[in-house]
Chains A and B, each alone.
Chain A
């Protein structure tokens, strides 16, 4: 099965013999990276990637996430992952209809608040109601006046998130790093979907973040970021250890269904499947349906 690759040094990536060739000039290391065994690449200390290598990555639907000393800079994504004009048109039909988009936006905010309440309940069992109250108040505002509150909701919820994290005593730097990793992981999930990642659900007052990647990130951020930052808080990890822990965190099981279990890493893909079914008129969309706290966190 293809794996996530974390590259910890600043390297040059080329296309050679129809596969990827990596050169670490500082340590004089040259190696091939078999393209069929890679699902996505995280270049933690930046990367100098040749045009032809980017093309090869796109052809094989491998996202390349570029970081600068662990600070996320962006991702090279295949322009089209799974080509499906029918899904695209169904997506546009719904998301360019302002009324239906608002209804879907309300559902997304409900899901986002639910996950945040789960995390807050786990962090502060005694003050569970206080935190739930804060999130649910915003959710009810959105339900009462969506046109007014939806464009601002991301900022409002993020403010409550910041307060919650401050009360838990989490390091701002760790949160910042993990936010980047989380966004990269969410962006990477779109290489397995036929959705257009650039056309999103939630309106944005600043008109910057109207992409489906930002929407999924907003929805799943508490699980990707909060649970992990809490886990590593106070530990003195080197870069290699940190990457191993991130990989491990991504494998936490968040949904147990009859047919299969879903890991955290695959949650955005699962949400994508849910949205595609909804866009194609096959099923109602319930954001983060049956998603629960990973067992290892509960224990």
Chain B
């Protein structure tokens, strides 16, 4: 009718909303969700398989940070070492608890790098949120929340239960699987544009009003960030494309592919358990 179709089920997303809608026909001819959700729950409940998938998410995250490193020209810093160390740690993970520790340490090292570069200029002293207390944290929080919302719909479209995450524990009111998928997207769609804006020196301190304990972003900075996010998509995903719901079509396709990739892993359609935003070959 007016929706995307997947396995006979129409899933539609309203403009600007993270919630999708699904059509339940009067006579169900085929239940498109049963197999994929059975597989999803099996991977979640099997301790070994869940760790395999969590490692796969973390490897995907380091792959995305490699893209960040190349696009922003940071290869000659200590970042390659941080990423290589994280990859060694990921290989040694034996439980989800350990994985959360590795992920925390890795992100701490990354944000230490941010602090070394931008700490003095933008009073950035590490990641903080709810509310963010400095402009860089405000930009990171804003872009990460956009990315999280962008990830919900593609996952729902391929029939996955977006509330059932592997790295992020499922809980009430959050799409944990979208948080997992966002880990792969955040370095590219969040970190790269912010790093670029900071490097270009286009951001001014008055774009970040401080209210109470929190630092917020004004409309102008939001606009600059969104434009830069779109620019990064065009750079990384190869060229311009028309916009759909405010975002390049190529980004939607990439996110759809990412969600399909996860579906393929869960259903065992793929031989190797590899989940990356983009197969990146050293800056090409």
Contacts and interface: CB of A to CB of B under 8 A. Distances in A.
A51 B15 contact: yes
Nearest to A180: B26
Given A51-B3, A83-B175, A197 B165 contact: no
A196 B29 contact: no
A50 B17 contact: no
A192 interface: no
A87 B17 CA distance: 23
B42 A74 contact: no
A57 B21 CA distance: 8
B25 interface: yes
Given A54-B14, A86-B171, A76 B21 contact: yes
Contacts of A180: 26
A103 B77 CA distance: 61
B22 A76 contact: yes
Nearest to B28: A208
Nearest to B157: A79
A209 interface: yes
B23 to A, nearest CB: 6
A199 B2 contact: no
Contacts of B197: none
A113 interface: no
Contacts of A199: 33-34, 37
Nearest to A83: B163
Given A187-B24, A198-B33, A92 B38 contact: yes
B264 interface: no
A198 B24 CA distance: 9
Interface residues of A, number: 46
Contacts of B34: 198-199, 210
Contacts, number: 146
Given A50-B2, A89-B44, A80 B163 contact: yes
Contact of A88 (B17, B27, B42, B170): B170
A151 to B, nearest CB: 14
Given A89-B44, A211-B28, A52 B14 contact: yes
B141 to A, nearest CB: 21
A55 B21 contact: yes
A56 B17 contact: yes
A93 interface: yes
A52 B3 CA distance: 11
A2 interface: no
A55 B13 contact: yes
A58 interface: yes
B262 to A, nearest CB: 16
Chain B CB within 10 Å — which of A49, A72, A76, A77 has the most? Answer: A76
B14 A197 contact: no
B41 interface: yes
Interface of A: 15, 49-59, 72-80, 82-86, 88-89, 92-93, 96, 180, 183, 187, 194, 196-199, 207-211, 213-214
9 contacts: A49-B2, A58-B19, A73-B25, A78-B19, A88-B164, A93-B41, A198-B33, A208-B31, A213-B24
The 6 A-B residue pairs with the shortest CB-CB distance in the complex, in nearest-first order? A55-B14, A85-B170, A92-B41, A58-B21, A85-B163, A79-B20
